[in-house]
């Protein structure tokens, strides 16, 4: 049975958590669960931690605690290692299996600190020795909550970092990421004397396509093109949506000849892919024109490389579209259609 029947409901009524002192006014307190078979200890800790502003519940056995953890979420559990029934160490392992995100603090007598060390190997983050020092208990809980908050903030930062590099429609990298990546990658390729090829890809007559089928179908086609590009490249290649209907692909450690093969694979798969609208009706196929420039043959820095791949692309557009143009070593462009470089 859960001891505090007032709070004995299926969902623990405190959704948020965080470090004390960092909480906004009116926000919910951190949730703590205390497990000890000694009622006096349970009450002492409950009073002490409630005084500090936490929402505290208690359990008198490991079995009861597991039942509570399965139906509610807690930020920290504080458990005695010597429990009747299930041993504290066993409880630590089971709790971590159920919810790896819960922080566990164990309580032990001075004489058995070695078992606290064992429980930390099993996943506990800290231990408190009996007899208690109330300041120490508060500090351990506060430290643990602060650590959780830092972890949460770090995850959030990582999430936003990823988000700021990704194009929302196609989930490919965006223009900003492409420039960052290219700058760093070219330094690496330069140092190790390796190649990098850049493909600039633009959908042919996409304005007309949108006019014919509508913007929504156009968006679907952009997403479909992203997946064609993913399938036609390797995991280490970097795919970006450069602008509206323009894409860029960076092929690290790939020279012009190898990149040409990729270009042709892409051009053909785009041409041959049957496009469908949101209801599954077939709509017109698209084609792409690709401009290719390689490092170090065609340019020795990021901006020239992008510029030259772009020039090759527009040369391809002028030459009739649905083709591949290479930026030539002497500034000339050659056209490739159906595998023949003219
Ligand atoms: P070209 O063969 O010379 O590339 O002609 P184009 O019509 O593809 O090129 P243009 O630059 O004239 O027009 C680009 C079009 O791409 C305009 C716009 O309707 C379409 N477009 C750009 N971004 C999006 C988008 O996010 N969704 C949709 N549906 N269309 C887009
Ligand atoms: Mg276009
Ligand atoms: Mg364009």
pLDDT at 112: 74
Select the more confidently predicted residue: 172 or 112.
Answer: 172
Closest protein CA for atom 31 of ligand 1: 244
pLDDT at 104: 95
Cα torsion angle, 146, 149, 155, 158, sign = negative
pLDDT at 328: 73
For the Cβ of 215 lying below 6 angstroms from any atom of ligand 1, the answer is yes
* Helix extents (H) in the chain: 39-51, 62-71, 88-98, 113-121, 134-163, 175-191, 206-213, 215-231, 256-272, 302-318
pLDDT at 13: 32
Q: Is 10's pLDDT higher than 70?
A: no
- In a domain? residue 243: yes
For the Cβ of 6 lying below 6 angstroms from any atom of ligand 1, the answer is no
What percent of the chain is predicted at pLDDT more than 70? 87
Where does the pLDDT of residue 55 fall: very low under 50, low under 70, confident under 90, or very high at 90 and above? very high
Q: Is 9's pLDDT higher than 70?
A: no
CATH number, residue 246 = 3.30.70.270
Q: Are residues 154 and 190 in the same domain?
A: no
Closest protein CA for atom 29 of ligand 1: 218
How high does pLDDT run on average in the chain? 87
- What is the four-CA torsion angle of 336, 337, 339, 340, rounded to 10 degrees? -60
CATH number, residue 13 = 3.40.50.2300
For the Cβ of 168 lying below 6 angstroms from any atom of ligand 1, the answer is no
Spatial separation of the C-alpha atoms in residues 267 and 38, rounded to whole Å? 73
Taking residues 148-172, what's their average pLDDT? 89
Spatial separation of the C-alpha atoms in residues 197 and 258, rounded to whole Å? 9
Q: Is 263's pLDDT higher than 90?
A: yes
- In a domain? residue 334: yes
pLDDT at 6: 34
For the Cβ of 218 lying below 6 angstroms from any atom of ligand 1, the answer is yes
pLDDT at 110: 67
Last residue of a domain, one of 158, 191, 226: 158
Ligand at shortest distance from the CA of 244? 1
Parallel, antiparallel, or unpaired: how do β-strands 282-283 and 275-276 relate?
antiparallel
pLDDT at 140: 94
Q: Which atom of ligand 1 is nearest to the CA of 221?
A: 29
Where does the pLDDT of residue 109 fall: very low under 50, low under 70, confident under 90, or very high at 90 and above? confident
Ligand at shortest distance from the CA of 319? 1
Q: Are residues 139 and 58 in the same domain?
A: yes
pLDDT at 26: 56
Taking residues 169-180, what's their average pLDDT? 94
Q: Are residues 189 and 225 in the same domain?
A: yes
Q: Is 249's pLDDT higher than 90?
A: yes
Q: For the residues of 56-106, what is the DSSP string, one character each?
A: EEEESSHHHHHHHHHHS--SEEEEESS-SSS-HHHHHHHHHHH-TT-EEEE
Q: Which secondary structure element, helix H or strand E, spans residue 252, and what is its range?
A: strand 246-252
- In a domain? residue 168: no
Q: Shortest CA distance to 323 belongs to which of 331, 238, 332, 314?
A: 314
Report residue 167: phi and psi, to 5°: -80, 130
Render pLDDT for 194-248 as a digit per residue (tens, 0 to 9).
999 999 999 999 999 999 999 999 999 999 999 999 999 999 999 999 999 999 9
Length of the chain: 342
Total domains in the fold of the chain: 2
Parallel, antiparallel, or unpaired: how do β-strands 103-109 and 76-80 relate?
parallel
For the Cβ of 206 lying below 6 angstroms from any atom of ligand 1, the answer is yes
Q: Shortest CA distance to 322 belongs to which of 255, 248, 272?
A: 272
Q: Is 74's pLDDT higher than 90?
A: yes
pLDDT at 118: 87
CB burial of 194-221 (b: ≥16 within 10 Å; e: otherwise) equals bbbbbbbbbbbbbeebbeebeeebbebb
Yes or no: say if 270 and 287 are a contact pair by the CB < 8 Å rule: yes
What percent of the chain is predicted at pLDDT more than 90? 72
Q: Are residues 154 and 182 in the same domain?
A: no
Residues spanned by the domain of 211: 175-341
- In a domain? residue 112: yes
pLDDT at 214: 96
Ligand at shortest distance from the CA of 241? 1
Q: Shortest CA distance to 56 belongs to which of 98, 93, 3?
A: 3
Question: Would residue 245 show up in a list of annotated catalytic residues for this protein?
Answer: yes
Spatial separation of the C-alpha atoms in residues 191 and 185, rounded to whole Å? 10
Q: Which atom of ligand 1 is nearest to the CA of 204?
A: 2
Whether the pTM exceeds 0.85: the reply is: no
Cα torsion angle, 134, 135, 136, 140, sign = positive
Q: Which atom of ligand 1 is nearest to the CA of 216?
A: 29
Q: Are residues 234 and 277 in the same domain?
A: yes
Q: Is 2's pLDDT higher than 80?
A: no
């Amino acid at each position: 049975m859960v001891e505090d029947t007032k709070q004995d409901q299926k969902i623990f009524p405190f959704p948020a958590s965080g470090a004390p002192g960092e909480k906004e006014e009116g926000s919910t307190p951190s949730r703590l669960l205390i497990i000890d078979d000694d009622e006096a200890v349970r009450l002492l800790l409950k009073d002490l931690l409630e005084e500090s502003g936490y929402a505290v519940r208690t359990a008198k056995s490991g079995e009861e605690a597991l039942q509570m953890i399965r139906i509610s979420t807690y930020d920290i559990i504080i458990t005695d290692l010597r429990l009747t029934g299930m041993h504290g160490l066993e409880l630590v392992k089971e709790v971590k299996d159920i919810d790896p995100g819960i922080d566990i603090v164990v309580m032990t007598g001075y004489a058995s600190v070695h078992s606290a060390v064992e429980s930390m190997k099993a996943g506990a983050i800290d231990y408190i020795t009996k007899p208690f020092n109330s300041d120490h208990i508060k500090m351990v809980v506060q430290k643990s909550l602060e650590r959780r908050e830092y972890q949460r903030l770090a995850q959030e930062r990582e999430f936003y970092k990823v988000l700021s590099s990704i194009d929302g429609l196609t989930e490919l990298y965006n223009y900003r990421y492409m420039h960052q990546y290219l700058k760093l990658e070219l330094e690496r390729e330069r140092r190790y004397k390796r190649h990098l090829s850049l493909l600039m890809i633009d959908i042919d007559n996409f304005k007309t396509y949108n006019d014919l089928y509508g913007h929504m179908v156009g968006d679907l086609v952009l997403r479909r093109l992203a997946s064609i590009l993913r399938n036609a490249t390797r995991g280490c290649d970097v795919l970006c949506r450069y602008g509206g209907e323009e894409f860029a692909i960076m092929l690290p450690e790939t020279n012009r000849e190898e990149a040409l093969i990729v270009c042709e694979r892409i051009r053909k798969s785009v041409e041959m892919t049957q496009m469908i609208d949101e209801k599954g009706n077939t709509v017109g196929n698209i084609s792409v024109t690709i401009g290719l420039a390689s490092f170090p043959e065609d340019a020795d820095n990021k901006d020239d490389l992008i510029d030259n791949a772009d020039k090759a692309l527009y040369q391809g557009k002028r030459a009739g579209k649905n083709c591949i143009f290479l930026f030539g070593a002497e500034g000339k462009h050659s056209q490739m259609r159906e595998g023949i470089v003219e």
